[in-house]
Structure 1
Amino acid sequence: MKIAPLHPDGTECEPRGQPSGKPRDPASGCAGRRSYAVVCSACGLVRDRHGLRVLAEPAQTRHRDSHKTTLVPATR
């Protein structure tokens, strides 16, 4: 499960950009980072996009916790 930086069109922003979200190399063709989303390998895109990475982290934790199995009491 990861937090992926997204372009304005919703595609994942692969090249590393500046802290402002702008691409380091303007000639790269990258539109720059606009938002972040939690991406689960089993479920795909989880919930809404977030403007800051720090706001996506609680959604990542909640979704990860939803995948944990509940413990079943042992029977004798």
Structure 2
Amino acid sequence: MARATIKIEPLHPDSTVCLHAVSPSGKPRDPASGCTGRRNYAVVCSACGPVGQPHGLRVLAEPTQRAHRDSHKAAPAPAPDPR
């Protein structure tokens, strides 16, 4: 079974992923970059896709990330093939 990674991705106001350097306020460091700033943070699982609704602050997305990671740990392992 492949290992799932659960990340918190910063989002622009139009819900696209923001990879730009930003200041602590969430505004772009380089005004010429075309970045509109960060608005939300989404929890994204490599196995399940987006998890829940985006959160306004990164710290609010962390419990969702932790809970989803724990749900993968709690999932029963597939039974070995008896052949």
1:14 corresponds to which residue?
19
Counterpart of 1:37, as a letter, is A
Question: Please, what is the CA RMSD of the aligned residues?
Answer: 1.5
4+ runs deviating over 3 angstroms: 69-72
How far 1:16 moved relative to its partner?
A: 1.8
**Once the two structures are superposed, what CA deviation does each residue of 1:18-57 show, in whole Å capped at 9, x if it has no partner?**
1111000011011110010111111111101111111000
The answer to whether the aligner puts 1:55 opposite 2:60 as a matched pair is yes
* TM-score normalized by the length of structure 1: 0.87
How far 1:68 moved relative to its partner?
A: 1.1
The answer to whether the aligner puts 1:3 opposite 2:8 as a matched pair is yes
* TM-score normalized by the length of structure 2: 0.80
Structure 2 distance, partners of 1:16, 1:4, is 13
**Identical columns (%):** 69
Report how many residues are paired: 72
Structure 1 distance, partners of 2:48, 2:21, is 25
Structure 1 distance, partners of 2:68, 2:29, is 32
Q: What is the DSSP-based 3-state SS (H/G/I as helix, E as strand, rest coil) of the residue aligned with 1:55? A: helix
Structure 2 distance, partners of 1:30, 1:23, is 6
